Amino acid sequence: MKKILVANRGEIALRVMRTVKKMGIKTVAIYSDVDRKSPHVAFADEAVCIGSAPSNQSYLLGDKIIEVAKKLNVDGIHPGYGFLSENASFSEKVNKNGIIFIGPKPKAIQIMGSKLAAKEAVKAYGIPMVPGIDEAVTDVNYAKEVARKIGYPILIKASAGGGGKGMRIVYKEEDLEEQMNRAISEAESAFGDGAVFIEKYVASPRHIEIQILADNKGNTIHLFERECSIQRRHQKVVEEAPSSVLTSELRYEMGEAAVKVAKACDYRGAGTVEFLLDENKNFYFLEMNTRLQVEHPVTEMITGIDLVEQQIRIARDEKLAFNQGDVTIKGHALELRVYAEDSLNNFAPSIGILDTYKVPKGTNIRVDDGFEEGMEIPIYYDPMIAKLIVFGQSREEAIELMKQAINDYQIKGIETTLPFGKFVFNHEAFTSGDFDTHFVKKYYTSQALSAQYKQEAEIAARLALYAYLKEKQVLKTC
């Protein structure tokens, strides 16, 4: 491949292009009119305006993106994550137009894009799954029958999509009909597919995912796990690798299960298999994401493997240059997603101008972003500004470095999730490793964050007073 078009925007477009350029390959950026001055546009060798601000008039225009790629003699298209990254139809059209789609085969995307189809595909491999039914449910009476059999609470889930949409927890039978109708309606609105299914609700789960790589030569390996349990509204905010609760035996079992899931759909490229881990350390298959994950940097930090480079090499039909035994965990990595959201106001969107934007710098600190000082955060896209990633030789060292990096990150003009990140990394539940996906519900409130602010201010005032009195004493002595 001599030229790659990155069909995305912001931090992920920039992050992909850095690796592409490192490999000596030319880059093409696409952008909407509102992103005209974005860093990923300036960084690329060539850039083309694809349309107006709304994503359905720009970044989701698959046919237009392919047209641009053909006109500029592009060899491959990297979709990043979001937008068209898990669109089987787009992947197929890219390949049919003589361009390499840097990702899995359309069939794998299609199978794993449906939670029901994914469960059916992996069923024969003996992979543990949450008790429930593996078929779409529309009849309320049948749903009640299933719920009685597996026991409340239950979880109603949309077969298509994710991010917490089309998902409802039901604690008692009298609420089932209303919650089921809501889930179906939300799924239809968000994904154009109202299919929902029922499974047992795991009360105190941890969200553990396994990174896999698979080439075209029959080699599939895993790159260990990421802990993604700190979430708000079912969406991840803090990730780490490795998990603090997995034993080496459990890590091996989950890694093997993830490899089997990949083989179940003849997977190629980089992908992620997600599991729920209950309080008794039982794990259950959740879903597979057929793309690069937002949180992929923590895996890169602990393995030293550039996942985008591997995606490109696999797409070029190269064999993996390492096997399972060659990959080891070194140290500990943490990631905080820096969203344009108000941590003190239920994570409400905070749109505006980045009046001040200065990122932390230093050894083992990495910032993947797509903004610069003076830029406006547009309302049309995901509100993530950046990913702040740190690495330490131990988990404790990584936590301390992350707290320092958060303090050094200067953003003014909008509210962000940096204060929430500070709350998490200072909280005893997180530092002890004793937490689950309900961390926010259990521990976080705006009042708790305000109390932490007040405590920090008091400590700072005491330190300032101590320094003043010390200096005064020195002057008297002189």
Q: What is the pLDDT of residues 52-81, one digit of tens each?
A: 999 999 999 999 999 999 999 999 999 999
Q: Is 182 helix (H, G, I), strand (E, B) or coil?
A: helix
First to last CA, the chain: 72
The alpha helices in 316-417, defined as continuous H runs, are: 395-408
Q: Give me the half-sphere count of Cα atoms (radius 13 Å) on the Cβ side of residue 228.
A: 22
Q: Which CATH entry fits the domain spanning 3-102: 3.30.365.10, 3.20.20.10, 3.40.50.20, 3.40.720.10?
A: 3.40.50.20
pTM to 2 decimal places: 0.89
Using a pLDDT cut of 90, give the percent of the chain over it. Answer: 82
Q: What is the DSSP letter of 75?
A: S
The per-residue pLDDT of the chain, averaged, comes to 93
Using a pLDDT cut of 70, give the percent of the chain over it. Answer: 93
Report residue 251 as tokens.
């890590």
Residue 161 has pLDDT above 90, yes or no: no
Rounded alpha-carbon distances, angstroms, from residue 69 to 3, 62, 101: 9, 11, 11
- Continuous segment of H or E residues that includes residue 273: strand 269-277
Nearest to 134 by CA among 289, 293, 284, 291: 284
Nearest to 247 by CA among 273, 224, 229: 224
Q: Rounded CA gap, 248 and 468, in Å?
A: 52
Are 226 and 295 a contacting pair, CB within 8 Å?
Answer: yes
Q: Which CATH entry fits the domain spanning 131-200: 3.30.70.1110, 3.90.226.10, 3.30.1490.20, 3.40.50.300?
A: 3.30.1490.20
Are 387 and 369 a contacting pair, CB within 8 Å?
Answer: yes
Give the residue numbers marked as catalytic.
Answer: 291
pLDDT value, residue 452:
63
Q: Rounded CA gap, 313 and 304, in Å?
A: 16
Residue 460 has pLDDT above 70, yes or no: no
Q: Rounded CA gap, 16 and 6, in Å?
A: 7
Are 276 and 284 a contacting pair, CB within 8 Å?
Answer: yes
Residue 329 has pLDDT above 80, yes or no: yes
pLDDT value, residue 133:
85
Are 137 and 146 a contacting pair, CB within 8 Å?
Answer: yes
Report the Cα 99 to chain-centroid distance in Å. 27
Are 39 and 372 a contacting pair, CB within 8 Å?
Answer: yes
Are 261 and 215 a contacting pair, CB within 8 Å?
Answer: no
295-308 confidence digits (pLDDT tens): 999 999 999 999 99
Q: Is 163 helix (H, G, I), strand (E, B) or coil?
A: coil
pLDDT band at 289 (very low <50, low <70, confident <90, very high): very high
pLDDT value, residue 456:
60
CATH 3.30.470.20 for the 223-254+289-310+321-440 domain, yes or no: yes
Rounded to 5 degrees, what are φ and ψ at 471?
-65, -40
186-202 confidence digits (pLDDT tens): 988 888 888 899 999 99
**For the purposes of burial, counting CB atoms within 10 Å of the CB of 378, is it exposed (0-12), middle (13-18) or buried (19 or more)?**
middle
Q: What is the DSSP letter of 159?
A: S
pLDDT band at 453 (very low <50, low <70, confident <90, very high): low
pLDDT value, residue 478:
62
Q: Rounded CA gap, 157 and 477, in Å?
A: 72
Collect all residues with Cβ–Cβ distance below 8 Å to 12 and sequence separation of at least 6: 80, 81, 82, 292, 294, 368, 370
Residue 86 has pLDDT above 70, yes or no: yes
pLDDT value, residue 79:
98
